[in-house]
Structure 1
Amino acid sequence: MGRYFGRKSIVYALTCIVAVTINWLVPRFMPGDPVLQMLISRGPDTNPEQTAVIMDYYNRLFGFDVPLWQQYLNYWGALFKGDLGVSVWLFPTPVADVVLRALPYTLGLLLPAILLSWFLGNKVGAMAARRKWLDNSVLPVGYVLTATPYMWLAILLAWSLGIVAGIFPTAGGYGFDLQPAVSWEFASSLAMHWFLPFLSLFLVAFGGWAIGMRNLVIYELESDYANYLAALGAPPRLIRRYAFRNAILPQVTGLALQLGVLVGGSILTEVVFAYPGLGNLVFQALLHRDFFLLQGVVLFIVIGVLVANFVIDVVYVLVDPRTRAGMQGVSA
């Protein structure tokens, strides 16, 4: 088992190196000059000579005055020191500080959406596989939800529950007239602003999990071992329990694949609701040509997805005895 996880660690490390390299390259293919964009956003300057001097100063400050290969090596050197650079958009704030301020908002959206949609979707899907009335309602609703784009559902929820009904706010992480504080007023405002972005992520993921589990349980209940147990007189509850245990294993694997999709959905949802998470930072970084902020945010997302996938790999080995037996056979 140790050899298996050693190989997995090497694969994930190589994947991380490739992902970080692509993350460094992509912003540099974007059109526009980040330093010029920063100067324009601070107001027009009628003195061309002074503008040239200022641009030269910031290019040297951000390290844009050296060849690309040297910039790449400098990036890795700074990365090993924990230095993600300085934000061009929010100069002179370090990128790490900007990302860490937004990270709790994104985690507060993703973790509940991932865990609740996976748990409830599998539960409802398993129930629908053996209850006709529930199957007739879960199946069409699930197909509609899982085919719905995150951004479109977010816009629909903001329009219906926010603008028309006026129940929930449609922008920001909390009331614009409030300051972060440990108080009931701030906590309630935080929850009200969180609900619609969370609901849009939860509903789309829930539909996919429910359909997947429903189909898997039906397949297991019609398999040879289920029919053999029924012929032996085993109680239906025992057969359903075995069917659920076998059906849940592909769903664990699917959770690893779904993480990247849900993170992408979170980015779009945060942009729709102007939610102050990592997704909104990606949008602002693209808008202001902020190389360093974009690299920092995507780096956090890549590392988070890789770590979550590795944890799911470990969990899959622990919950599937056949995988452990196969690993022991290979080791022997």
Structure 2
Amino acid sequence: MHRYFGRKTLIYLLTFIVAVTLNWLIPRFMPGDPVLRMLTRTSVSNPEAIAPMREYYERVFGLDVPLWQQYVNYWVQLLKGNMGVSVWLFPTPVTEVITRAVPYTLALLIPAILLSWIAGNKVGALAARRKWLDNTVLPVGYVLTATPYMWLGILLAWSLGIVGGIFPVAGGYSFELRPEWSLAFVGNLFSHWFLPFLSLFLVAFGGWAIGMRNLIIYELEADYANYLETLGAPRSLIRRYAFRNALLPQLTGLALQLGVLVAGALVTEIVFAYPGLGYLILSAIQNQDFFLLQGTFLFVVIGVLLANFVIDVIYVIVDPRVRVGMQGAS
């Protein structure tokens, strides 16, 4: 078992190094000059003042050294927990900007992923043995899972927000309110949160429901199910075994789809101007903020890697065959 987790840790570590390297490279391929853009925003009218200001900002941002040295400095500062200073919100540190946005993204992602996975598996299992439900779940599930996150978000914002006037369509909370632990503010937060959550939930729900429905049908036609039925085992017992066996591929699918779900959440935040990491990435691109873009991407990569590692651990716990194989290998 120690050898298995050691191998897994090494794979995740190598993936992290490659991801950090790409994360450092990609913003530097972006067109434009972030320092020049910042000087333009400050409306410097004296041409003689541009040169010393440019020299100062390049020194602050670490852009006055060769690329290889920027890369080494990036790793050194990263290991210290320093992701640099935001160009867009200068002189606010990148970590502080990201810390403000992370709770909004996690509040969308965690409920959407968990609830869609649980509800999708339950409904898919029911659809596999109820014809009327199967005739409903299958076409609806195919439509939902094929729907782009952005398009569904726009549709929900138009129907329930603009036309229906039930939910707000932009922001994390109303501008006239101040963040505080009160019933009015929490209710306002919920109303702004619901539409982005619903768009993420519906797309993911369709995929999990179809997957579980197909897996249950396969399991019920397997040899062990036919054998148990021949022995006179109750149908409920056979279905329970089929559901447990079908959950394992769905758990693996959760690990594989995690990156897609995170990307969907980031796009959904842009549609609803929701103040999470997705909206932060858009603002960083628009303002050519290298450091904020790097920091946001890095946080997303680390989050996905940690979530996949947790799913790997859970898979070992819930599947006894993996544990037996690991013990035999050791």
TM-score (norm 2): 0.99
Give 1:152's aligned residue: 151
Deviation per CA, 1:251-270: give whole Å up to 9, x if none: 00001111100110011100
Task: Give the distance between the partners of 1:308 and 1:174, measured in 2 at CA.
Answer: 28
Deviation per CA, 1:113-146: give whole Å up to 9, x if none: 0000000000000000000000000000000000
Task: Give the distance between the partners of 2:226 and 2:40, measured in 1 at CA.
Answer: 72
- The residue identity in structure 2 corresponding to 1:14 is L
Query: Gaps spanning 5+ residues in structure 2: where?
Result: none
Task: Give the distance between the partners of 2:84 and 2:168, measured in 1 at CA.
Answer: 34
Task: Give the distance between the partners of 1:232 and 1:38, measured in 2 at CA.
Answer: 76
Give 2:320's aligned residue: 321
1:252 aligns with 2:251: yes
Deviation per CA, 1:228-273: give whole Å up to 9, x if none: 1111111100100010010000000001111100110011100010
Task: Give the distance between the partners of 1:319 and 1:309, measured in 2 at CA.
Answer: 15
SS of structure 2 residue aligned to 1:289 = coil
Identity of matched residues, %: 74
Give 2:9's aligned residue: 9
Give 2:114's aligned residue: 115
Please identify runs of 4+ aligned residues in structure 1 that moved more than 6 A. none
Give 1:78's aligned residue: 77
1:1-332 alignment runs, 5 A limit: 1-43=1-43, 45-331=44-330
Deviation per CA, 1:72-98: give whole Å up to 9, x if none: 000000011110111000000000000
State the shift of 1:330 in Å. 1.2
- The residue identity in structure 1 corresponding to 2:141 is G
- The residue identity in structure 1 corresponding to 2:266 is I
Task: Give the distance between the partners of 1:142 and 1:314, measured in 2 at CA.
Answer: 29
Deviation per CA, 1:27-86: give whole Å up to 9, x if none: 00110111111122333x333222222112111111101000000000000011110111
Deviation per CA, 1:180-205: give whole Å up to 9, x if none: 01111111110000000000000000
Greater displacement, 54-63 / 217-226: 54-63
Give the root-mean-square deviation of aligned CA atoms. Answer: 0.8
> Alignment length, in residue pairs?
330
Task: Give the distance between the partners of 2:117 and 2:223, measured in 1 at CA.
Answer: 28
Task: Give the distance between the partners of 1:67 and 1:267, measured in 2 at CA.
Answer: 33
Deviation per CA, 1:268-327: give whole Å up to 9, x if none: 100010000011100000010001101111111000000000000000011111111111
Task: Give the distance between the partners of 2:14 and 2:220, measured in 1 at CA.
Answer: 41
Task: Give the distance between the partners of 1:78 and 1:188, measured in 2 at CA.
Answer: 40
- The residue identity in structure 1 corresponding to 2:209 is A
TM-score (norm 1): 0.98
Task: Give the distance between the partners of 1:161 and 1:221, measured in 2 at CA.
Answer: 40
Query: Gaps spanning 5+ residues in structure 1: where?
Result: none
SS of structure 2 residue aligned to 1:85 = coil
